[in-house]
A and B are shown apart, each in its own frame.
Chain A
Amino acid sequence: MRYLNDSEIQNLEIKANSIRESIIEMLIEAGSGHTAGPLGMADIFTLLYFEVLRHNPKDPLWVDRDRLVLSNGHICPVMYAAMAHVGYFPVEELLTLRKFGSRLQGHPHRELLPGLETSSGPLGSGLSQAIGMALAERMENPYSSKYFYCIVGDGELQEGQIWEAALLAGKEQLHNLIVIVDRNGIQIDGYTKDVMPMEPLVEKFESFNFDVQEVDGHNIRSVNDAIGKAQAVYGQPSVIIAHTIPAKGVDVFERDFRWHGNPPGKGPEDRVPKDKQGEVALQRLHSLAGAIIPSDRS
């Protein structure tokens, strides 16, 4: 973990906004896919790919890389966009999302795109895979400094397999495992609190022997600090519950669960008519990009 100065934070914020623009462009072109989750996780993915992960986009299979396992595969547009912007593949390829023959499948397929650690989509299984990787690493090298990051959705925590996996992580005291929960409060059928309440989440993870932190998932400095602390924890796995705003960055889409699984052009019309959704989203992000200036930090 590295301390980030204000100008570095600002650069990451600008980058996150570009990634959000890419996400919207990809979804408009694809005509299907998920909007709220990818936009909400753009700050965290930017921080991970541009700052936190030890990796090499020009050598995606570098053996000593950290591993990032995306368990909630449906938010892959944010992962693809971050990977393209950091140099894994050309940004233009993002527009092939969900199209026939594309390496950017609707849900990620490891074998098609170097840099993906797993294929995912069916919820609940990524955490187990990250644990398997972390265990295998510890067998080979108990002093390894590699970290195994796993992104899970909050709705995904309803899957029983997550808690099977959590039992094992606690049992094995996997200090090299860092789980980040996208706590955006929504899922397809509605607000998580209505579909199947998950609180008290902090206590749930603590009772499974995790070190637990809660952060504002849009405050890049806070998330970076939390990851730094998680890296320093020894003798137990870590979870960072990142509170995020679904569809963050496009204010007229934010906080509405109906944006979970719809692309611009097919979302709810209360705030923006369908035929304007893509254009408005890009305008909003464009104006935000201009608003991220050093004076905000003074």
Chain B
Amino acid sequence: MPQHINPNIFNDTVERVPNRNGFGEGLKAAGEVEKNVVALCSDLTESTKVSDFATAFPERYFEMGICEQSMASVASGMAAMGKIPFIASYAMFSPGRNWEQIRTTIAYNGANVKIIGAHAGVSVGPDGATHQAIEDIALMRTIPRMVVIAPCDSNEAKKATMAAATYDGPVYIRLAREKTPVVTTSGSPFTIGKAEIYLERNKDHAKKIGIIASGTILHGAMTAAHALNEQGIGVSVMNLATIKPLDTEAILAFAKDHDALVTVEEHQVAGGMGSAVAEYLSEVYPTRVVRLGVHDRFGQSGTPEELVAYYGMDEKEITKTVHALVD
């Protein structure tokens, strides 16, 4: 196990925290360091965890009402005057509903705005498909200048938020609703644009598979890989928290060190993180890449576990996919 990974991650007693909580802590911490940080929210202040910041800095918090389109452009205007706005809603509404405002008034305009899309992925659960954003990575990574980050847990969400506050330019941070296992520690390294290998394959095994995961679903990849290494297949796991800009150097080295790759994300396989990896490798180092995610379908109501399993992204599906690649 590499340094700075929660030593408890393979135990049932692993601590579970929604990664949006880490965002809430990070925003408040960023606000303490940088007085120009402001927060805007569209009637979801508590569930997006902007509430920590709103309580600490009421004069820098703006309740926008249910107006996601205007929120994006108001933030652009504030950025033009030197503020560092964070806009928060559910990913389905921001960047889902306000994509054009984000493209034109934030990215094209060169506005230093941070977009927080909470409740992304099918693990939103019982709210159903209308509230499960599984297209947001594709929407955001095609916009020039946009940085796209999907933190794997609350610790990483906190660090990503603080890093976004000091980064000059638009950033999208994708968050989940559910309590998910804490994979990292407060000391784990995080740098925008840098992938980290969280689990090294057992070098004694001849068969070598690399798993690349983004977001809270990373934990399932870790537990699957851990078991597979004990079963005689060498499986590594990379945390690709920053989906754009892509850490091409790390991905190329990872591809060279393995026979095939599996990508896992709570997103449509079209246009997501797995697509980004496959697009890059197909040009420089053609590698077999199996993408786990949602295959051109909408979500539905259910428990997070049921849905992640049904759409084929859970530990069981990852294990099955690795076996199919080596058998």
Contact = CB atoms under 8 A, between A and B. Distances in A.
Interface of A: 67, 69, 109-111, 117-122, 124-126, 128-137, 139-140, 160-161, 164-165, 167-168, 171
Given A133-B81, A136-B82, A121 B110 contact: no
A109 B83 CA distance: 21
| B-side interface size class | 20 to 34
B74 A118 contact: no
Contacts of B250: none
B294 to A, nearest CB: 30
Interface stretch (B99-107, B221-229, B263-271): B99-107
Contact of A136 (B59, B71, B83, B100): B83
Contacts of B101: 122, 125, 128, 161
B285 interface: no
A110 B67 contact: no
A154 to B, nearest CB: 19
Given A122-B100, A129-B105, A165-B70, A117 B80 contact: yes
A84 B64 CA distance: 37
25 contacts: A110-B109, A111-B109, A117-B80, A122-B100, A124-B69, A125-B73, A128-B69, A128-B70, A128-B74, A128-B76, A129-B73, A129-B76, A131-B74, A132-B77, A133-B77, A133-B80, A133-B81, A135-B62, A139-B38, A161-B69, A161-B73, A164-B65, A164-B70, A168-B67, A168-B70
B78 A122 contact: no
A165 B74 contact: yes
B108 interface: yes
B108 A109 contact: yes
B27 interface: no
A165 B68 CA distance: 10
A125 B83 contact: no
B60 interface: yes
Contacts of A128: 69-74, 76-77, 101, 105
B72 to A, nearest CB: 8
Nearest to B62: A135
Contacts of A161: 67, 69-70, 73, 101
User: Which 6 interchain pairs have the tightest Cβ spacing?
Assistant: A132-B77, A128-B73, A136-B81, A164-B70, A164-B67, A129-B77
Nearest to A110: B109
B110 A110 contact: yes
A132 B73 contact: yes
A164 B104 CA distance: 18
Contacts of A167: 65, 67
Nearest to B70: A164
A119 B67 contact: no
A117 B101 CA distance: 16
Nearest to A136: B81
B112 to A, nearest CB: 12
Contacts of B109: 110-111, 118-119
Nearest to B98: A161
